[in-house]
Amino acid sequence: MKKPNYLSPEKIQIFIQQALQEDVGDGDHSTLGAIPKNKKGKAQLIIKEKGVIAGLELAKMIFHQYDPELEVELLLEDGQEVQPGDIGLTVSGAAASILTTERLILNCMQRMSGIATKAHQLNQLIQHTDARLMDTRKTTPNFRLMEKWAVWIGGGLNHRFALYDMVMLKDNHIDFAGGIDAAIAQTKSYLSANGLNLKIEVETRSLSEVAQVLEIGGIDYIMLDNMDYATMRKAVAMVAGRYPLEASGGITEENLKEVAECGVDFISVGALTHQVKSLDISLKAF
């Protein structure tokens, strides 16, 4: 499956550079003080918990960006289901380089694997429907790239990456603009004036708002926000396939299946990235 467009090598390289600067600063003095420069070593990434592994490709990139002479062998693939005791990769070369990059790699992989695991688990609950699981912008500042990558590895879809790549007219936009009609009209005028070709999604809070959007038209997606099952099913019938429908708001693991069975096309779950337990992984010398 083709990687999302936001995963450019340049953006990943910038992330790694900034993360290393944050962690290493003017030097890893523990390692510089204790480890001789010519000391060689080997380490392996040990999976300590059942789940879906994510971030192996990133780990290899971190190792090589910090020290191109490190030899990294990936023994598993991102997206693979793992068990305690599985070995994800081995790395050999300068012991100091392995020690300095260890925590950054574990921090990234543990969180990414937790997210991929949750995405996989939730996808299993709705696989009997046509609904697709999506993430949101409820991400960790400066780590969104990796969190959305992890959702994708776990089988979920990425919603818009940020504010600049899609228009989403939510309740506050609509209220401040003076209503759905005004919000859509003003947005379309703005996009035209600025030569922007962006998809437009409109959040609706009731069947009357769904009806308004259908009457106005000219948009790309309709969001059904915090609707109960009966209202959601009525909205699906009203729209009748004219626009893709996204269910959002109050989606949990307990009600996900029922929401999917209402007939929506997408279900966005903020908890995919903001309420996830990291997977237990370690890097040990051998």
CB 245 within 8 A of CB 222: yes
Q: Which of 102, 135, 203, 209 is catalytic?
A: 203
Query: Which of the residues 103, 242, 277, 284 is marked catalytic?
Result: 103
User: Cα–Cα distance between 103 and 84 in angstroms, integer?
Assistant: 20
- Whole-angstrom Cα distance, residue 121 to residue 126? 10
Contact partners, residue 241, CB within 8 Å, separation at least 6: none
Report yes or no: 270 and 138 within 8 Å, Cβ to Cβ: yes
Residue with tokens 């100091």: 96
138, 160, 205, 234: the active-site residue: 138
Active site residue 234: no
| 87-94/71-74 β-pairing | antiparallel
43 close to 282: Cβ distance less than 8 angstroms: no
Q: Which helix (H) or strand (E) holds 152?
A: helix 144-153
- 40 belongs to the catalytic site: no
Contact 98, 43 (CB under 8 A): yes
- Active-site residue 10, yes or no? no
Active-site residue (options: 170, 188, 233, 234): 170
Residue among 51, 70, 48 at smallest CA distance from 59: 70
Q: Is residue 83 within 8 Å of 47, Cβ to Cβ?
A: yes
203 in catalytic set = yes
Q: Is 3 a catalytic residue?
A: no
What is the separation of C-alpha 286 from the centre of its chain, rounded to a whole number of angstroms? 33
Q: Which two tokens stand for residue 181?
A: 């009609």
Catalytic residue among 78, 147, 209, 225: 225
Report, as residue numbers or ranges, the catalytic residues.
103, 138, 170, 203, 225
